Amino acid sequence: MRTARPLLPWVVWGVAALAYAVAIINRSSLSALGPAAQEHFGIDATALSMFAMIQLVVYAGLQVPVGVLLDRFGSTNMILGGGVLMVIGQTVMALAPDVSLAILARVLVGAGDACTFISVMRILPEWFAVRQLPTVSQLTGLIGQAGQLVSVAPLALLVSVAGWASGFLGIAAAGLLVALLGSLVLRNRPGDSTLAERIIGRQSRTSRDARSLATPPVTGVVEMAPPATEMIPVMKEPRVRGLGFWSRARRLLRIPGVRLAYWVHFTSPFAANVFILLWGTPFLVGGVGLSPPAASGLLSLTVVSSMLAGLLLGPISSRFVERRVWINVGITVALATVWIAVLLWPGAPPMWLLVLLLVVMPFGGPASMIAFEVARSHTPRSFAGFGTGLVNTAGFTASLLVILLIGLVLDLQGAGSPEDYSLGAFKVAFAVQVPFWLLGLTMIVIEARRTKGWMQEHGRRLR
């Protein structure tokens, strides 16, 4: 039994990460199917962007409520509940005869997706030592990117060969299998029962004897311990039930480190999200003029690059705790620079520049994981789920706004459908990203200075 106990945290993490990978497959299932979805439902660019936008609105809008539910009901229930919602959503998408039901499907997928990532992130500190968390978090993101790799090429191939319904029913079946596996394996913390054990009313010896890899007690190792709850001003709770999250949000946002984490997550991931979730294939095929197989290959390159970035940034952010925010800033500046070069290039950008873009841009996703390390350093433990959800809204708020703006700018130029796409129209549309980078970088600099002052005032430092 001694050899089995240390493996349990990795087994729990592995299944939780697998659930996150399936959530990514669900989230990005339209990434390589934009033109196919337009033909299937007979819609223009703005309507196509609405699919992704509504899904992201639901995702971002539910992060804070899901965080509240997460602190109350635990990670296991939220991961499994989210999985069931996504299974239902993809089943509806497979069988939807019109756009209205397809939109409902994306709402369900967005709601299920919203339950997954922050629940997985919440479960990690219960099973791993603080010094392990940056690396394990990046590995979680890496496995999620593997799910994105599935949605880029194999799903598009399956839909083209077997049809729209078969492709999405296949995703639903995979999600159901992972949910069943999760009910047998996932535990909120050592000593807790799985869902299956709770249903039958008996706890296994594995659950009773489970141990965390965290060094007891979990106190300052590589990063600043979370502030005491008493450091957050006590406010009278509102009497109207359901509005307590506003009080919690105000309390957390009074801590500069939480605001800093928000802007870190806002700034770096949206470019890759926008490209991979929706507008990458239309840009490469309808704008640059690549063949669909070549576009799929380049999109696969973005996923591979993101996975490699996760492997690199985990140990780096763990080693250079004091500089992790500036690592994120450097990556953001690099990807913005490459994007601007593509937009300003006269005519079609050369292949080497496209490859450079699709190698550098995906670093923004793993770089955004640094936001959760910053948030963990400044968020009280009792607010952990809520704080993670609050920070996680940032990047997806930016993503959905940019997705919508690109669709609107394309339509305003009369280039909103596949037969009207043009490189010039895409360049103008993708330029809407620039103000978002400028806003995010400015706020990071401001909040980093405020955070430094707050830590000095309270006699705290990152370790």
233 band by pLDDT with thresholds 50, 70 and 90: very low
> Average pLDDT of the chain?
82
Is 363 inside a domain boundary?
Answer: yes
Q: What is the reported pLDDT for 404?
A: 84
Angle between helices 133-152 and 154-162 (to 10 degrees): 30
Segment 91-110, tens digit of pLDDT: 998 888 888 888 898 899 98
419 band by pLDDT with thresholds 50, 70 and 90: confident
Q: What is the reported pLDDT for 152?
A: 64
111 band by pLDDT with thresholds 50, 70 and 90: very high
434 band by pLDDT with thresholds 50, 70 and 90: very high
Q: Which two tokens stand for residue 310?
A: 């996760």
Cα separation, 355 vs 35, whole angstroms: 22
Q: What is the reported pLDDT for 446?
A: 92
Q: What is the reported pLDDT for 258?
A: 84
CATH number at residue 430: 1.20.1250.20
Segment 262-310, tens digit of pLDDT: 999 999 999 998 888 778 888 998 888 888 888 877 887 887 887 788 7
Q: Among 239-248, 261-270, 398-407, whose mean pLDDT is lowest? A: 239-248
Q: Is the confidence at residue 180, as pLDDT, over 60?
A: yes
Q: What is the reported pLDDT for 244?
A: 59
Residue 207 identity: S
Which range of residues forms the domain containing residue 16?
A: 5-191+245-455
Segment 162-172, tens digit of pLDDT: 778 888 898 89
Ramachandran region, residue 10 (left: φ > 0; alpha: ψ -120 to 50; beta: rest): alpha
Residue 459 burial class via C-beta count within 10 angstroms: exposed 0-12, middle 13-18, buried 19 and up: exposed
Q: What is the reported pLDDT for 216?
A: 53
Segment 303-350, tens digit of pLDDT: 788 778 877 887 777 677 778 889 999 999 999 999 999 999 998 999
Segment 138-152, tens digit of pLDDT: 788 888 877 777 776
Q: What is the reported pLDDT for 25?
A: 87
User: 240 or 186: whose pLDDT is higher?
Assistant: 186
Q: Is the confidence at residue 179, as pLDDT, over 90?
A: yes
Residue 446 burial class via C-beta count within 10 angstroms: exposed 0-12, middle 13-18, buried 19 and up: middle
Is 461 inside a domain boundary?
Answer: no
Q: What is the reported pLDDT for 358?
A: 92
Residue 428 identity: V
Region 29-39: mean pLDDT is: 72
Is 462 inside a domain boundary?
Answer: no
Q: Is the confidence at residue 433, as pLDDT, over 90?
A: yes
Is 202 inside a domain boundary?
Answer: no
Q: Which two tokens stand for residue 206?
A: 């594995």
Structural contact between residues 145 and 34, judged by C-beta atoms closer than 8 angstroms:
no
Q: What is the reported pLDDT for 171?
A: 87
Is 44 inside a domain boundary?
Answer: yes
Tell me how far apart the terminal alpha carbons of the chain are, to the nearest angstrom: 35
Is 222 inside a domain boundary?
Answer: no
Structural contact between residues 285 and 292, judged by C-beta atoms closer than 8 angstroms:
yes
Is 199 inside a domain boundary?
Answer: no
Region 40-50: mean pLDDT is: 73
Q: What is the reported pLDDT for 227?
A: 52
Q: How many domains does the chain have?
A: 1
Structural contact between residues 391 and 265, judged by C-beta atoms closer than 8 angstroms:
yes
Is 173 inside a domain boundary?
Answer: yes
135 band by pLDDT with thresholds 50, 70 and 90: confident
1 band by pLDDT with thresholds 50, 70 and 90: very low
Q: What is the reported pLDDT for 129?
A: 82
217 band by pLDDT with thresholds 50, 70 and 90: very low
